[in-house]
Amino acid sequence: MANSKYEYVKCFELEDEVMFPSFILVSINACNLSKPYDVNALNLMNSCAVAVLEEFADVVLAYGFSDEYTFVFKKSTKFYERRASKVLSIISSFFSSLFVRKWREFFQQKELHSPPSFHGKVVACASTDALQAYLLWRQNICHLKNQYDQCFWRLVERGMNEREAQEFIDGAKKRDLNDILFDEFNVNYNTLDPIFRQGSCILKTMVGAVVKYTETGAPVKRQRREIITVHSKKIASTRFWNEHSILLKELGVFVEEINNVKPEYVRSFEFDSKLMPFTWVVVRIDGCHFHRFSEIHDFAKPNDDRALNLMNSCAVAVLEEFRQDIVFAYGVSDEYSFILKKSTDLYERRASKIISAIVSFFTSSYVMRWKDFFPQSELNYPPSFDARAVCYPSAEILRDYLSWRQVDCHINNQYNTCFWKLVASGKSKREAQRSLKGAQLQKKIEELAIDYNKLPVMFRQGSSVFWDRVDNVLIHQENGESSENYGKVIVQHIDIIGSAFWLEHPGILRGFEAPN
């Protein structure tokens, strides 16, 4: 809606469309999920994956094991115009939201102490042969990783520390891991639950369902789609594929069997560009369908300070989590921009990992903190956010980007304030839109007797989040006193278009190291 001299910064945004007819696969991995052979953790991951297929009609197949999942979109998908960053961020964000909401179903006696995050990537498979190779590769990795994990964690539980267990296994490379399991723990690997050995395949299939009964009592059946979870020995086989008509229809035919695949070949499919070095990186996240979300959850109009403060709280958590890389954030409404310093090497500057890790951490924080800001309201369904990463070459252009967002905040807030004032006066939403079309907002504000300058400054200027550093604090220790730096993340509602703020906080644009 807003139009300003700062609009030019949009030209730095690059398109990242996965060109048709390549298949789009989204692969996500949980960050720091311990003991991945825990059956409860696997069932939680599976439950989240099922919900993804229920939510997104274009996802027809998912395969997961340990702490990872891959989602396969139908070949003809136009999901978010096939833009890799959008597709990846929405899936990873929604998955993390589900993970938090479903945690209690699988870990009733264990608290979820910190927001989970998932880093991921988009894989573009140019043909059904490439898709078949990818699925075979991941299931082979499932087998190898599970053998290792089964041995490793049993050794740890028996008393070894993690380094000792690793050295024991690595030193026994010539010995089959199955033999270690049997000799050390009397465990026959082949009798372990298939969920460990073969992973979980979730797909949509057609089943006959009884929809009514005739006058004589005979059932009348109709075909309908159902989501099923199977633990098949070889999901990349022609036999498995041919058993499921939806896979043939939406993904194509596997012509012949394959038994071996080179990992280097499959890794070449990864749609994973690195961000330009020595540039400021902005990761901007936006709520998905938040107009509907705000209506269902009865957000106050035009601004709900509870919702805005929840967003701010999540932004603070992101800065604390990525303290060595994110130096500033600016938020308004259902969006937030996170600024990574020029020298960041987070995830080796891989755009997909940076985007997915930040947006999934923000989303899971949002779900976990919901009750802190809406104690009387239930979270009716999992929210999600999309994200993109954009590089800006200089501090001046970065400041223009932030100015663009703050100007947008100001103009949008003027419009929304007028719009909801008109609705409150008795006009329909359509009538309010017509009344504001082409109008000068400042004049409308005067006509509607709105004292705009008395509105909360957070509504008018958005929220700026950054490290407030305090230097040279005396720390009392047993062996004497020492001087250390410390700081905290603060939220302020201030003008960031002018120079005053940046002169007062010069370390932000220098990309200083965050306090420990």
Query: Is pLDDT at 207 greater than 80 in this prediction?
Result: no
* Per-residue confidence (pLDDT) for residue 335, from 0 to 100: 98
pLDDT tens for each residue of 414-454: 999 999 999 999 999 999 999 988 888 888 898 889 999 99
Asked if residue 111 lies in contact with residue 368, where contact means CB atoms within 8 angstroms, the answer is no
Query: Is pLDDT at 208 greater than 80 in this prediction?
Result: no
Burial (CB < 10 A; 0-12, 13-18, 19+), residue 264, is exposed
* Per-residue confidence (pLDDT) for residue 267, from 0 to 100: 82
* Per-residue confidence (pLDDT) for residue 481, from 0 to 100: 52
pLDDT confidence band for 269 (50 / 70 / 90): confident
Peptide linkage before 263 cis (omega within 30 of 0)? no
Least confident span in 101-115, 162-176, 411-425, 473-487: 473-487
* Per-residue confidence (pLDDT) for residue 475, from 0 to 100: 47
The interaxial angle of helices 351-373 and 305-321, nearest 10 deg, is: 130
Residues 6+ apart with CB under 8 A from 473: 483, 484, 485, 486
How far apart are the C-alpha atoms of 152 and 16, rounded to whole Å?
Answer: 40
The mean pLDDT value for 395-416 works out to 96
* Per-residue confidence (pLDDT) for residue 185, from 0 to 100: 92
Task: Give the start-end residues of each E strand in 170-274.
Answer: 200-213, 219-230, 270-271
Residues in the chain: 516
How far apart are the C-alpha atoms of 203 and 460, rounded to whole Å?
Answer: 47
* Per-residue confidence (pLDDT) for residue 31, from 0 to 100: 85
* Per-residue confidence (pLDDT) for residue 211, from 0 to 100: 67
Q: How large a percentage of the chain has pLDDT more than 70?
A: 92
Helix (H, G, I), strand (E, B), or coil: what is residue 43? helix
Helix (H, G, I), strand (E, B), or coil: what is residue 27? strand
The mean pLDDT value for 506-513 works out to 78
The mean pLDDT value for 201-206 works out to 89
Q: Which residues of 103-114 are buried (b: 16+ CB within 10 A; e: fewer)?
A: beebeeeeeeee
Peptide linkage before 115 cis (omega within 30 of 0)? no
The mean pLDDT value for 394-421 works out to 95
**Parallel, antiparallel, or unpaired: how do β-strands 200-213 and 219-230 relate?**
antiparallel
Q: At which residue do the structure tokens 């958005």 appear? A: 462
pLDDT tens for each residue of 277-316: 999 999 999 999 999 999 999 999 999 999 999 999 999 9
* Per-residue confidence (pLDDT) for residue 323, from 0 to 100: 94
Handedness of CA 235, 241, 244, 246 (dihedral sign): positive
**Nearest CA among 383, 334, 389 for reference residue 357:** 389
pLDDT tens for each residue of 322-349: 999 999 999 999 999 999 999 999 999 9
What six digits make up the tokens of 380?
């009716």
* Per-residue confidence (pLDDT) for residue 80, from 0 to 100: 95
Residues 6+ apart with CB under 8 A from 225: 204, 205, 206, 207, 246
Query: Is pLDDT at 2 greater than 60 in this prediction?
Result: no
Least confident span in 59-73, 261-275, 368-382: 261-275
How far apart are the C-alpha atoms of 86 and 108, rounded to whole Å?
Answer: 33
Cα distances (Å, whole numbers) of residue 422 to 414, 435, 452, 453, 455: 12, 9, 15, 19, 17
* Per-residue confidence (pLDDT) for residue 120, from 0 to 100: 95
Burial (CB < 10 A; 0-12, 13-18, 19+), residue 480, is exposed
pLDDT confidence band for 474 (50 / 70 / 90): very low
DSSP 263-310: HHHHHTTEE-PBPPTTSEEEEEEEETTHHHHHHHTT--SS--HHHHHH
* Per-residue confidence (pLDDT) for residue 33, from 0 to 100: 67
**Nearest CA among 377, 375, 384 for reference residue 297:** 377
Average pLDDT, the chain: 90
How far apart are the C-alpha atoms of 2 and 418, rounded to whole Å?
Answer: 15
The mean pLDDT value for 374-396 works out to 96
Query: Is pLDDT at 47 greater than 90 in this prediction?
Result: yes
How far apart are the C-alpha atoms of 435 and 323, rounded to whole Å?
Answer: 46
Burial (CB < 10 A; 0-12, 13-18, 19+), residue 54, is exposed
pLDDT confidence band for 353 (50 / 70 / 90): very high
How far apart are the C-alpha atoms of 376 and 371, rounded to whole Å?
Answer: 8
pLDDT confidence band for 214 (50 / 70 / 90): confident
The mean pLDDT value for 466-475 works out to 64
* Per-residue confidence (pLDDT) for residue 492, from 0 to 100: 97
**Nearest CA among 286, 277, 404 for reference residue 11:** 404
pLDDT tens for each residue of 15-26: 899 999 999 999
* Per-residue confidence (pLDDT) for residue 222, from 0 to 100: 76
Residues 6+ apart with CB under 8 A from 395: 280, 509
pLDDT confidence band for 483 (50 / 70 / 90): very low
pLDDT tens for each residue of 75-107: 999 999 999 999 999 999 999 999 999 999 999
Query: Is pLDDT at 484 greater than 60 in this prediction?
Result: no
Cα distances (Å, whole numbers) of residue 123 to 86, 120, 159, 178: 14, 10, 40, 32
- The pair phi, psi for residue 509, each rounded to 5°, is -80, -10
* Per-residue confidence (pLDDT) for residue 272, from 0 to 100: 73
Q: At which residue do the structure tokens 């994973």 appear? A: 272
- The pair phi, psi for residue 72, each rounded to 5°, is -110, 120
Q: At which residue do the structure tokens 């601004």 appear? A: 303
- The pair phi, psi for residue 159, each rounded to 5°, is 135, -15
